[in-house]
Amino acid sequence: MSDKYNDAIAKSTFLEDDATVAASVEKIIAEHFEENNNLDVWKFLLNTIDLTTLSATDSPVSVSNFVERVNAFDEEYPMLNNVAAICTYPNFAQVVRAVLEVSKVDIACVSGGFPSSQTFNEVKIAETALAVDGGADEIDIVLNVGNFLDGDYEAVCDEIAEQKAACRDARLKVILETGALKTVENIKAASILSMYSGADFLKTSTGKEFPGASLEAAYVMAKCIKEYYEQTGVMVGFKAAGGVRTTDEAVKYYTVIKEVLGEKWLTNEYFRIGASSLANSVLSSILGQPTKFF
């Protein structure tokens, strides 16, 4: 069926299959990982982390304490740049806004029925709007994977566009849930449709129900982001999330993005890693000793 959604996907010249993508990623890591596994890159990576707490036990007190550690980091490690953002459930946006004292750290909130995207669209829009009203600078929503796999691209795109409108000045990250999409073909189509609908960032995973980030998914998403930039002049960011826990793993994502998208994307305006434990791993690498600060 020919429509504007399928037409947008069909315009892509990225035609690699799963095996080719896996081989391409393996080659990139083999050739470039070691040159990027160094102190300067570790420092950069610390400044790309969306420090995340998404637990059933989160409370105003626990989230406040979480934020206070970010505040304290600036005092204890003035020679290092802080994390990029604090990411919480949307009902804690006001708490983070009230406690956060570091001007260069953004407030990110998951929204839109996270992590399943299974609720009324009106609820998704309201949740996003309320999070922004509460102080969120960035909103992370989940692609409606069920509608996508059914081929209802219009519904998928309409949802993203409506939540983009609800974001107002906040940036919208669309989580593709690549572990559920599985194939290169699906990840490519989801990437294109998300950008077509106004995504400011493409994000790999929720880290909840399905397998988290993979280097192969990152490669496909980065290829789509590059193609979209070449076609429109619009830079869309990339965020890896779901299971990125060690410095080595983070450096591998950095390496893929550097090789596919180039230096222009190596800023926390366009490159992020969502994690809870990664910050301590990277900080330990920087300091040369085991450190549990966050």
Six token digits for residue 181: 């999409």
Backbone angles phi, psi at 108, to 5 degrees: -115, 145
Q: What is the mean pLDDT of residues 109-132?
A: 97
Give just the sign of the alpha carbon dihedral 271, 137, 280, 41. Answer: positive
Q: Is the pLDDT at 196 greater than 90, yes or no?
A: yes
241 touches 203 (CB < 8 A): yes
Say which DSSP state 169 is in.
T
pLDDT one-digit tens code per residue, 14-53: 999 999 999 999 999 999 999 999 999 999 999 999 999 9
Provide the pLDDT for residue 207: 87
pLDDT-derived band at 244, boundaries 50, 70, 90: very high
The Cβ of residue 176 has, within 10 Å, a number of other Cβ atoms equal to 27
Say which DSSP state 134 is in. Answer: T
pTM for the predicted model, two decimal places = 0.96
| Cβ atoms 121, 112 nearer than 8 A | no
Cα 228 from Cα 203, distance rounded (Å): 16
Task: Determine the average pLDDT of the residues in 266-282.
Answer: 96
The pLDDT value given to residue 209: 87
Q: How confident is residue 2, by pLDDT bands cut at 50, 70 and 90?
A: low
Residue 114's nearest CA partner among 242, 249, 270 is: 242
115 prior amide bond cis, ω within 30: yes
Question: Residues with catalytic annotation?
Answer: 140, 203, 239
Half-sphere exposure of 157 (CA within 13 A, CB side): 19
Average pLDDT, the chain: 97
Q: Residues 210-229: what's their mean pLDDT? A: 96
CB 133 within 8 A of CB 87: no
